[in-house]
Every structure is written in structure tokens, then in C-alpha cells.
Amino acid sequence: MQTIFGVEVTEFIFWSLFVLLTIGEILVVYVFKLPKENVIRDWVEPAFEAIIIAIVIRTFFIQAFKIPTSSMEDTLLINDQIIANKFIYGTTLPWQKHKVWKFTTPKRGDVIIFRYPNDPRMMFIKRCMGLPGDMLQMKDKVLYINGKKLDEKYTYHKDLRIFPGSYVPRDNWGPIGVPDGFIWAMGDNRDMSSDSRFWGFLPYDNLRGKAWIVYWPPSRWRVIKHEKVDVPEPAGNTAPAKAPAFKAAPVTPN
């Protein structure tokens, strides 16, 4: 994912525009005190008001994202541009960590957008595969949840090799329990995804939205499908009370 001064390119452009329009608004209204009929003020004020509305919308309701890697193939492709519903899992206010106005919680199979736990400046998109209390295990690329073997038609495998868990936690690992307040996230392109297998559990507070539609390119326009993953409910409280530390391991593109 490309960044400028450690900030995503789109975020940098958006907030640079906001700063420039704010300075322009201050100059034309309070410094030079141009009349409302002035052509410069007539351009600056509507643009400033528009970006304020855009900030409110992208903070509380919806936001556009661009897919930078192949980790969600074939569900989402590189350069797909999507819109995410930001309020469905709860809104994150700038001055507090915990979410407010929650409408629902993530379900297994939801395509979720979140801040990368190891670098919150970065946004990742994966599929929610494990909820608090779930026991998960992978055997030779096959995922088991609460003892049930999944037939995952939405997954994609590019690499025919199968690695032992002692070498890298890509194809074989577990069983492992998902603790309270956390989610287990995985990319659909299982052989080329940096996800919970490598960096651990995803804190619920890192969630930023649920993928909604692909709006660009026009040939790819569609509502994003969220799979329904039916598994047995976990037997009792088998998950750890908190997330264990994950050992560093080689990772693949996100």
C-alpha cells in the first residue's frame, strides 16, 4: 500500500485538500473579508462546505477504499474500488477508542475492513472467519471451526505446495481459541494473504466497516457477497481470556 509521510495516499490527498480549503476559507472570510458576491469566495465557500459534509459522511457512514493487493482474490481484485458501510459495526469517534451506535456484530463470512493491528495507519480487508469462543484449526489448507470441516468455495489457492506448521503457519496450525473482544480474519486468497495466521487476533475495536459494493471499474460493479458460514456453536468457554502473543513468522503480501 502506497503511503506519503507514512499516511495512505488517498488519506493524504483528502486531508491536504481539507487543510487548503480551511486556509482558503479563513483568508477569504476573516482576513480579506471578501463580500459574498466575490467570485473567489463564491468558489471557496461551497468547496469548504462540501468537504465538511464529506468528512461527516466518511467518518460516520460510508467510505471508499481501493484494493491494493491480491489477498482477497477472486472475491476482490487488485485496483477494485469499493464502498464500505462504516456504521454497521459501530462508529469510532476520534476522541475515544470504543465504538458507539452499534447495529450488529461481525458474523463468520463477513468481508471486513479494519486497521492493521501492527500498524494502525494501514487499512486491511479480509474475511471474518472466527468469533470469540470459536476453536479454529487448519490441516493441509483446510479450515476447521469448532470441529467442523469447511467447504470454502470462495477461497482461492495459487500455490500447490503445503507447508508444515513448524515452518510457517500458512497451511497447518492450531487448534487455537479466539478470545473475547477479538476476531480471526483471513484472506480469500489463502496462499497470498497476511492475516491472523501471521499477526494474530484482530481486536474488535480495530474494525472500521463492512465491505458493501464494488463501484469501479464499471465492469466489476456489484454488491459484495458475504458468505454464511454455518458451524456448531463452541462448547462452553474454551477460548482464552486474552489474546496470546504470536511468534514472528514470514508473511506474504496483504
Output the tens digit of pLDDT for each of the chain's 254 residues: 455 665 567 777 888 888 999 999 999 999 989 998 899 999 999 999 999 988 888 777 888 888 989 999 999 999 999 999 988 887 776 555 666 677 789 999 999 999 999 998 888 999 999 999 999 999 999 999 999 999 999 999 999 999 999 999 999 999 999 999 999 999 999 999 999 999 999 999 899 899 999 999 999 999 999 999 999 888 765 555 445 455 444 444 45
pTM above 0.95, yes or no: no
Instruction: Classify each residue of 179-199 as buried b or exposed e, where b means 16 or more C-beta atoms within 10 Å of its C-beta.
Output: beebbbbbbbbbbbbbbbbbb
C-alpha cell at 173: 496450525
Distance from C-alpha of 82 to C-alpha of 224, rounded to nearest angstrom: 9
pLDDT for res 8: 65
Q: Is the peptide bond before 175 cis (omega within 30 degrees of 0)?
A: yes
pLDDT for res 116: 93
Q: Is 71 a residue of the active site?
A: yes
* Beta carbons of 187 and 199 less than 8 angstroms apart: no
* Beta carbons of 205 and 146 less than 8 angstroms apart: no
pLDDT for res 56: 82
Structural element, H or E, at residue 149: strand 148-149
pLDDT for res 122: 87
Catalytic residue among 70, 86, 126, 193: 126
Q: Tell me whether strands 99-100 and 91-92 are parallel, antiparallel or unpaired.
A: antiparallel
pLDDT for res 93: 64
pLDDT for res 95: 57
Q: Is 196 a residue of the active site?
A: no
Q: What is the DSSP letter of 5?
A: T
Catalytic residue among 71, 193, 194, 196: 71
